[in-house]
Every structure is written in structure tokens, then in C-alpha cells.
């Protein structure tokens, strides 16, 4: 019984590790690192990612991964937050605020 509990705990810890994946740069990581970091990406698909970037060039956006055979929108959506295409994390641009015209000064009225 004790051995079974140890095996069960080990198995659960492996699943927990995969649930807390770290972001991975798909332009620099090897296939093993990509497959370990991304949900639904096994070694074969990760190798296809590496092959694609070798033949076609680096990925400019995460969405370009859907050009790799076997990777669709659902897989991309599951992993979007963990896919990097550069070593610098993407920063959202601030909202553009339209300048408001200056209010015209009120004219003083003199009593008659």
C-alpha cells in the first residue's frame, strides 16, 4: 500500500509540473523543451515546429504556429500565454487617448 501511495504521489507531481508550464521561446528552444512547456504539444509536433522555423525562418507571432501541420487554433489558444517569439515578453501598447480641444475662455460681461 505504501508503494502504491508513493507511485500515486509521483504521478500527481508530474501532472502538477506540467500544469505550471513556463513560457518558452519557440524560435530558440529545442524540441524537447517545447514539448515539455506546451500543453498538447508532444515531441513529434515540437520537432515539426523546429523543422518549420529552420526551413521558413523565425516565427514573428505565436499565431504563425498554426502554419505547422498538426497545430490548430485550439492548441494555440491553450498555450498562447506560454508562447514567446522573442526573449523579451510582449508588452501591450497603452491605449491611445485623443487630445481634447482646449476650452475657449469665457468672456466676461460687464454690467450696463
Domain definitions of the chain by residue range:
21-84
Q: Note every long-range contact of 47-56, with CB atoms under 8 Å and residues 24 or more positions apart, other chains counting.
A: 53/26, 53/27
For domain 21-84, is the CATH number 1.10.150.310? Answer: yes
Prediction pTM value: 0.61
Render pLDDT for 3-48 as a digit per residue (tens, 0 to 9). Answer: 665 665 555 555 544 455 689 999 999 999 999 999 999 999 999 9
Render pLDDT for 74-97 as a digit per residue (tens, 0 to 9). Answer: 999 999 999 999 976 555 556 666
Which cell goes with 80?
498562447
Q: Which helix (H) or strand (E) holds 11?
A: helix 2-19
Amino acid at each position: 500500500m505504501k508503494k502504491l501511495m508513493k507511485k500515486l504521489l509521483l504521478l500527481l507531481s508530474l501532472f502538477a509540473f506540467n500544469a505550471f508550464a513556463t513560457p518558452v521561446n519557440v524560435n530558440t528552444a529545442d524540441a524537447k523543451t517545447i514539448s515539455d512547456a506546451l500543453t498538447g504539444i508532444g515531441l513529434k509536433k515540437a520537432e515539426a515546429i523546429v523543422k518549420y522555423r529552420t526551413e521558413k525562418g523565425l516565427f514573428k507571432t505565436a499565431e504563425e504556429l498554426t502554419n505547422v501541420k498538426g497545430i490548430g487554433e485550439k492548441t494555440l489558444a491553450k498555450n498562447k500565454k506560454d508562447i514567446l517569439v522573442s526573449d523579451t515578453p510582449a508588452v501591450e501598447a497603452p491605449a491611445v487617448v485623443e487630445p481634447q480641444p482646449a476650452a475657449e475662455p469665457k468672456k466676461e460681461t460687464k454690467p450696463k
